[in-house]
Each structure stands twice: as C-alpha cells, then as structure tokens.
Amino acid sequence: MSLLGHRKFAHKILSCLQSFALLPTSDKPTHIDSATQIDNIFINEIDDYFSSGNVDYGITDHFPQCLIKHSFCQLIQPPKILLRDYSKFSEEIFLQELSQFKWEMLLSGDDINIIIIIFLLSITN
C-alpha cells in the first residue's frame, strides 16, 4: 500500500507505527509511473547519524531504498597523541636542574592548589 495515497488510511498506519516509536526514513515516491511509495524503512532510533534515500539507477521504474547508519567511530576524531623525544635527554642536565629548584618555596605553602600552580609555572619556564 502506498503511504502517499489513501491519506486517511496512511495516516492511521503512520500513527500506529509512530506509537511504537517507528518512524519512516523517506517521504519520497519509490515507484515512478504511479508516484507511490510502496517501500519504506522504519527505524526506532532517530539521530543525526544516518542518511537515507532512494537509489535511482535507471534500470527499472522502481527505486530501491537505502539507509546508511554512520558509526560514532567515523564521526569522532581520534585523540592526538603527544610523544616525548628522549633522544636528546641528558640525565646529568635533568638532575642538575632538579638540584637547582627551590623546593623550600613549595614545602612552605599550605594550599595544595597554589603549590601545584607554582610548581608547574616553575618547571615550564
């Protein structure tokens, strides 16, 4: 039965399907000659991550339908991984910088949040 014709009956069918959270993915005719919609794909998960439509390949007067559900993996960019280059690391220079750090300045504070901020500012400069 075409959902585009017989408006009252089509409305009852669509209302019944929607009461079960089933929604049509297309509102275009699937049959060229009679401009009817005799095929449809109903889904119960509406989100922005799917594409649907009719496939027009010109062989027949009937358009098959398609539904493409995009994966979250395709939508989310992979995290950028930062790596440290230890090829130029010198343990001697590192220990020398640690020994020159004024640890008393940190140990005299009471607020751990301020201590962390001071430490991070000291080692990044």
Query: For residue range 40-98, what is the model confidence (pLDDT) as tens digits?
Result: 777 787 666 777 777 777 777 777 777 777 766 655 677 788 888 888 889 998 898 88
Tokens 């440290």 sit on residue = 84
Q: Which residues pair with 52 in a beta bridge?
A: 67
- Asked if residue 4 lies in contact with residue 54, where contact means CB atoms within 8 angstroms, the answer is no
- Residues near 5 by Cβ (< 8 Å), separated by ≥ 6? 36
- DSSP letters along 13-71, please? HHHHHHHTT-EES--S-SBTTTTB-----EES---SSEEEEE---SSSSB--EEEEEPP
Q: Report residue 35's pLDDT band, with 50, 70 and 90 as the boundaries.
A: low
Buried b (16+ CB within 10 A) or exposed e, 53-79: ebeeeeeeeebebeeeeeeeeeeeeee
pLDDT, position 13: 78
CB atoms inside a 10 Å sphere around CB 26: 19
CA distance 38 to 43: 16
Higher pLDDT among residues 4 and 78, named by residue: 78
Q: What is the pTM of this model?
A: 0.41
